[in-house]
Chains A and B, each alone.
Chain A
Amino acid sequence: MFKSLKFPVVAAVLALSGLATAGPLGIGSTATAEMIAGWDIDVRPDGMGLPDGEGSVAEGEGLYEAKCASCHGLFGEGEGRWPVLAGGEGTLDTLHPEKTVGSYWPYASTLWDYIYRAMPYPVPQSLSHEEVYSIAAYVLYLNDIVGDDFVSNKDTFAEVKMPNEENFFIDNRPDVNNERCFKNCADPSKFEIVTTINGVTPTGHFKEDSGVAANHYDGNPSAVSESGISTEKNITKVALSEGATLGRGVYDMACQACHNSGIAGAPKVGDVAGWVDRIGQGMDTLNDHAINGYQGADGVMPAKGGNMALSDDDVVNAVAFMVESSR
């Protein structure tokens, strides 16, 4: 009889004091399974985190072409300077290594994880699990890692082996050992002095004759970049109205991700054919669509490009910039 009484009392005291669940300082609240489930999106090489659902290479093809190809190219070759996804096998030990999903990425799980968390670039975490399975399968197919009949799900996906997996090793630096020498440490007769190529970097802030300004994101001049030779097309230089001049900065910040690439069916700046019918609708209609959002046959324009921090005037100015640069 004592026994049956004792346990409920102890449990009640623990529940009141919170001692049963609290840490040393008793700060914070329990993260519920439901909270965690909503945020726990990560996937690991051992398959941990892969959700239910599945998708095929065939389904992935259409999705990829609609949602990915405008930046990454129809065959994963990369549009402009957006990342190349396919190819590059056998280049890693050459002078022009091409690091793609197929040639470089050690684990297929990374592809699933990254597409789900961060893609499509302007609208992250908008894809369903099935869509991610399909698109990931298609990207693996573009890299000849799976066949065209591949259906990906949490079992098959975790089984995919990437060709470059074994070529990664843990950091073994320090890898060089310089001596703290003070006299005659180098032979000056063998010096070869390599200088920079003038005009590659912005110096307008400290050189009066430079003419190359920093800070402006206009996609030119093209030069050697971290990822190789730039091929980005320059936006045609035209005389801009005052509104369009102001709108250029807004465009750089908020619009160009789509309107410089064609993501989501967005007409590209400078694409005269793509803009002519739209311009024909009149500026009022264009501004209305840009401010309030618009779903058309060719694509979708989120209200203010999804950036509600922009004022209506900002958007109108950005539209003016795009229109005036696309006639």
Chain B
Amino acid sequence: MTKLYEPSLPKLMEAIAAEAGGMKGIDRRNFLKGGIAAVAGLSSVQMIPKANASTNLPPNLPEWQRHLGSGVVAKPYGEPSEFEDLQRRTVPWLTVDAASSISMTPLQDLEGIITPSGVVFERYHGGIPNVNPDQHRLIIHGLVERPLVLTMDDLKRFPSVSEIRFIECPANGGMEWRGAQMEALQFTHGMLACCEWTGVKLSTLLEEVGVRPEGKWILAEGADAAGMSRSIPLEKALDDTIIAWGQNGEALRPEQGYPLRMLNPGWEGNTSVKWLRRLEIGDQPWHHREETSKYTDLMPDGRSRRFTWVMETNSVITSPCPENPLKEPGFLEIRGLAWSGRGKIKAVDISFDGGVNWERTELKGLVLSKALTQFSFKTKWNGQPWLLQSRAIDETGYVQPTLRQLRDERGGWSIYHKNSIHTWNVTETGDVFNVQIS
């Protein structure tokens, strides 16, 4: 007589884990809350009567401590715990096609100042090219003494630098010019990331090719389907531009330009051309599509600013935020991020009343030039509603402006470079909403 198959506990847990692995977001959380209990109700699982969440809590010995876990290289390239839900997200109606679109970094779920490579926001104009590094070349030509073609091996022979710098799309917050629209931090401020970038300074490459005296501008061009191109002035190239192949300790991710990208610290992300294949030195700018039709700033009088490269000082409170509401009264560390394309953050202030009165916060951790900088304010929340704001000041003395100041100057129909003070409305219940004060 054949014995009926009875799944062993490890097998059953494996099956459950596999099913949960396919779930995302709320499904996953609902599962984690209710799934185990539901499974425990099945007759076939009576052999594991202790398989419900509470048995893992003290004074009981948790399930994961009662048997061996997986061994080394079970995952040769590791990934976040299955209990985490760290994801880039997009707002599908923003753009017409995924290959020319944007997704946002989950700032609400991140710690410290380094953005993990897998969740750095994406911006493509023609999708992600699948570049074979052995067949990738960087050509540098134009007004130079020695036009060069460089392999990835060639590039890695140059003296290298590693620097922590933020990168931000100039459209970050762009949906908020006309009014509060996005109901989550990820969507109001998530076109932002900060990584350690490794590569060769562009100035080193320019010495190698020998720029002729009349050379003043550099056209940077990508190997993507859009052939993304931007004109970069020589002063920036000689100052701090990096031609990078490394990101957070490993090769660039395809999403960030593998195997080679430009990085213009502090400047609008679009100038940091990804999948870089060509640098042409010229005597004047090219005025290409992404620096004329796009990434220019239309003013209320119908005239437009161009070459608006610098990302001005900005800040936002990341906890609390709509995704991280307040759950109980008592002690609270308010946390946030500040950054400036002009240098270091000098100070960040906080307001609980919509900008009537302000207090100083503490900066914590590394305070680096053109990098995300953490700020902190310790307080108590006892159910009172707040209009919570942060205001950053950079080392040049520039003070992050109010939304009204920006609108008075640039009108309400702008798209790019919105760096105004942001307001979270914390309600009596601890829920947090994106609001604007006008």
Binding site for B on A (CB under 8 A): 21-25, 27-32, 35-36, 39-46, 48, 80-82, 92-93, 95-97, 99, 101, 104-107, 109-110, 113-114, 117-118, 121, 124-125, 164, 167-188, 191-198, 200-206, 208, 210, 213-226, 230, 232, 252-253, 256-257, 260, 309
| Distance in Å: Cβ of B49 to nearest Cβ of chain A | 29
Contacts of B380 in A (CB 8 A): none
Determine if B425 and A224 form an interchain contact, defined as CB atoms under 8 angstroms apart: no
| A216–B92 CA distance with the chains assembled, in angstroms | 7
Q: Which 6 residue pairs are nearest across A and B when measured between Cβ atoms?
A: A93-B302, A23-B208, A214-B89, A117-B227, A92-B302, A31-B147
Interface centre among B100, B148, B284, B393 (most CB of A within 10 A): B148
Determine if A170 and B25 form an interchain contact, defined as CB atoms under 8 angstroms apart: no
Contacts of B182 in A (CB 8 A): 196, 200-201
What are 5 sample pairs from A and B whose C-beta atoms fall under 8 A apart? A30-B147, A31-B147, A44-B287, A96-B413, A168-B303
| Distance in Å: Cβ of A264 to nearest Cβ of chain B | 14
Determine if A171 and B308 form an interchain contact, defined as CB atoms under 8 angstroms apart: yes
Q: How many residues of B contact A (CB 8 A)?
A: 115
Task: Check if B309 is an interface residue, CB within 8 A of chain A.
Answer: yes
Task: Check if B141 is an interface residue, CB within 8 A of chain A.
Answer: yes
Interface centre among A46, A92, A256 (most CB of B within 10 A): A92
Determine if A168 and B306 form an interchain contact, defined as CB atoms under 8 angstroms apart: yes
| A40–B180 CA distance with the chains assembled, in angstroms | 44
Determine if A35 and B146 form an interchain contact, defined as CB atoms under 8 angstroms apart: no
| A257–B226 CA distance with the chains assembled, in angstroms | 14
Interface centre among A25, A114, A176, A179 (most CB of B within 10 A): A176
Contacts of A44 in B (CB 8 A): 282, 284, 286-287
State the majority secondary structure of interface residues on A: loop
Whose C-beta in chain A lies nearest to the C-beta of B277? A39
Q: Report B193-225 CB contacts with A as 1/0, cut-off 8 Å.
A: 000000000000001111000000001010001
| Distance in Å: Cβ of B183 to nearest Cβ of chain A | 5
Contacts of B130 in A (CB 8 A): 309
Contact for B219 among A42, A80, A81, A205, CB less than 8 A: A42
Contact for B149 among A28, A185, A196, CB less than 8 A: A28
Whose C-beta in chain B lies nearest to the C-beta of A125? B227
Contacts of B306 in A (CB 8 A): 168-171
Determine if A173 and B229 form an interchain contact, defined as CB atoms under 8 angstroms apart: no
Determine if B126 and A80 form an interchain contact, defined as CB atoms under 8 angstroms apart: no
Determine if A107 and B356 form an interchain contact, defined as CB atoms under 8 angstroms apart: no
Stretch at the interface among B36-44, B365-373, B395-403: B395-403
Determine if B93 and A230 form an interchain contact, defined as CB atoms under 8 angstroms apart: yes
Contacts of A225 in B (CB 8 A): 93-95
| A170–B285 CA distance with the chains assembled, in angstroms | 12
Q: Report B24-58 CB contacts with A as 1/0, cut-off 8 Å.
A: 11100010000000000000000000000000000
Contact for B227 among A124, A186, A215, CB less than 8 A: A124
| A82–B97 CA distance with the chains assembled, in angstroms | 9
Task: Check if B111 is an interface residue, CB within 8 A of chain A.
Answer: no
In the complex with contacts A40-B280, A196-B182, A178-B402 CB distance below 8 A: yes
Whose C-beta in chain B lies nearest to the C-beta of A21? B146
Besides A110-B289, A178-B391, 14 other CB < 8 A contacts? Answer: A28-B151, A42-B288, A99-B298, A114-B288, A124-B225, A177-B401, A183-B358, A195-B425, A195-B434, A196-B181, A198-B183, A208-B30, A226-B175, A230-B93
Determine if A219 and B92 form an interchain contact, defined as CB atoms under 8 angstroms apart: yes
Determine if A188 and B302 form an interchain contact, defined as CB atoms under 8 angstroms apart: no
| A99–B297 CA distance with the chains assembled, in angstroms | 11
In the complex with contacts A184-B357, A225-B94, A194-B436 CB distance below 8 A: yes
Determine if B292 and A105 form an interchain contact, defined as CB atoms under 8 angstroms apart: yes
Q: Report B83-95 CB contacts with A as 1/0, cut-off 8 Å.
A: 0010101111111
Whose C-beta in chain A lies nearest to the C-beta of B171? A226
Determine if A186 and B356 form an interchain contact, defined as CB atoms under 8 angstroms apart: yes
In the complex with contacts A170-B305, A206-B323, A188-B184 CB distance below 8 A: no
Determine if B98 and A23 form an interchain contact, defined as CB atoms under 8 angstroms apart: no
Determine if A23 and B210 form an interchain contact, defined as CB atoms under 8 angstroms apart: yes
Determine if B227 and A188 form an interchain contact, defined as CB atoms under 8 angstroms apart: no
Chain B residues 58 to 112 lying within 8 A of chain A, measured CB to CB, are 85, 87, 89-100, 108
Determine if B208 and A182 form an interchain contact, defined as CB atoms under 8 angstroms apart: no
| A102–B150 CA distance with the chains assembled, in angstroms | 40
Stretch at the interface among B3-11, B113-121, B328-336, B404-412: B404-412
Determine if A41 and B227 form an interchain contact, defined as CB atoms under 8 angstroms apart: yes
In the complex with contacts A31-B147, A39-B139, A92-B302, A188-B353 CB distance below 8 A: yes
Contact for A31 among B140, B282, B356, CB less than 8 A: B140
| A209–B304 CA distance with the chains assembled, in angstroms | 43
Contacts of B251 in A (CB 8 A): none
